[in-house]
Structure 1
Amino acid sequence: MNYLIAVLSDRFQAEEAYTALEKAGIPLNKMAIAGRGYKTADELGFIDPMRQAKNRATFMAYWLIPFGFIGGYVFNLIAGLDNLDWAGDPGNHIVGGILGAIGGAMGSVFVGGGVGWAMDTKSDTVPYRDYLDANKYLVLVEDFGGLSDRALPILRKLSPEKIESYQA
């Protein structure tokens, strides 16, 4: 899905652009305003990459940590490792399980997307979220049947801060 997105500095400009697009015959269900009092970035599908990476890493941890514990326990049981003399057989197996659980937790972070969460990587939707956080407004026109070609000259007349095409 392609969108034409115009960044406007205040609500009045956004409403003026929306009204001008409506008068030009662009269907209301093909345009939207994002900003305070209107749609949010989440409603428009601008996914927060930090939250998405954290959710993925947490989801992976739910099954990787127990699986890692069982794997570490079974590996220690089969290999017969005796790292802690004072712990005996059950204690050594449990320590092996704990080390396996730690490995599972590390796997959930590295494989589940936690690296992007920890390193603060940016995606292509982050600038739009930043505009909304700075109390700017976005006017979006869905490119359906050349609507963005009709909307572009109308939006340019209103001199927005930025006009971009976004592909979801």
Structure 2
Amino acid sequence: MSTYVIILKEKKLAKELLLKLREAQTPILNCDLVEPLDNKSDHENSNSDTFEEVWANQSSFNNLKLFNPTLARKERQKTLSTWLIPFGFIAGLSFSQMTDLKTFADMGFPSQLETLLGGLIGMISGALGSIFSAGSISQETVDDLRAFRKKSEEGFWLLILELPIEIEPPWAILKETDNLEIISIGKA
């Protein structure tokens, strides 16, 4: 999917843009509206506008994994652990069977549990691997996050559109909207 962050001055502009995109039948996979971190201007309008009718999720800056590396890391760790832990168990069992080492028997454990304990050690290794491999974040991402956070602290609304990768965004509609910037995050 392609992700675009549109920086807007007001919440009303986001609603208008979403209605135009809906009329143009733009296929949108996900749409999130991020309220400013210093949200003073649109609190009185937030009760009257219902974004559910134009399919946008309104959330705060820190609740989106796109802007919160901790949430993204936890999701990556969970995804990695779903296959690394079972793979580690199978690898540990296999290694114990192939090598016929008596590591745990020498420590006083029954020799019948040697293979099973090897599998458990493999599971622990898979869990640790998922934790450490999910912890990385690039410097480019950190710089982008700082820029988005600064815009949000300045009182701007961030509209995040996720489109299918094969669909080009409707640039004519996006350009006629009174927005400050349109930033393409990347393709996944």
Instruction: Say which SS state the counterpart of residue 123 (structure 2) adopts.
Output: helix
Cα distance between partner residues in 2 of 1:141 and 1:106: 33
Match 1:146 to one of 166, 169, 172: 172
CA RMSD of aligned residues (A): 4.2
Q: Please say which of residues 45-54 and 100-109 is displaced more in the overlay.
A: 45-54
Q: CA offsets per residue over residues 114-134 of structure 1, 9 Å max, x none?
A: 2137x9x637356435654x4
Deviation at 1:81, TM superposition (A): 0.8
Deviation at 1:104, TM superposition (A): 1.0
Match 1:60 to one of 75, 80, 90: 80
Match of 2:165 in 1: none
Deviation at 1:58, TM superposition (A): 0.9
Cα distance between partner residues in 1 of 2:72 and 2:33: 24
8 Å contact 2:65–2:72 — kept in the other structure?
Answer: no
Structure 2 unmatched ranges of 5 or more: 23-31, 40-45, 52-57, 162-168
Match of 2:7 in 1: 5
Higher fraction of helix = 1
Deviation at 1:49, TM superposition (A): 3.9
> Which residues of 2 match residues 1-150 of structure 1 at below 5 A?
4-6=6-8, 8=9, 14=10, 18=13, 28-30=19-21, 34-35=34-35, 37=46, 39-40=58-59, 47=66, 48-84=68-104, 85=106, 86-111=108-133, 114-116=134-136, 122=142, 124=144, 127-128=147-148, 131-132=151-152, 134=153, 136-138=155-157, 144-150=170-176
Cα distance between partner residues in 1 of 2:171 and 2:114: 67
Q: Residue 165 of structure 1 aligns to which amino acid in structure 2?
A: I
Structure 1 or 2, whichever has the larger Rg, is: 1
- TM-score scaled by structure 2? 0.52
Match of 1:158 in 2: none
Aligned residues: 141
Q: Residue 146 of structure 1 aligns to which amino acid in structure 2?
A: A
- TM-score scaled by structure 1? 0.57
Q: Residue 104 of structure 1 aligns to which amino acid in structure 2?
A: G
Cα distance between partner residues in 2 of 1:46 and 1:101: 27
Instruction: Say which SS state the counterpart of residue 136 (structure 1) adopts.
Output: coil
Structure 1 unmatched ranges of 5 or more: 9-13, 156-162
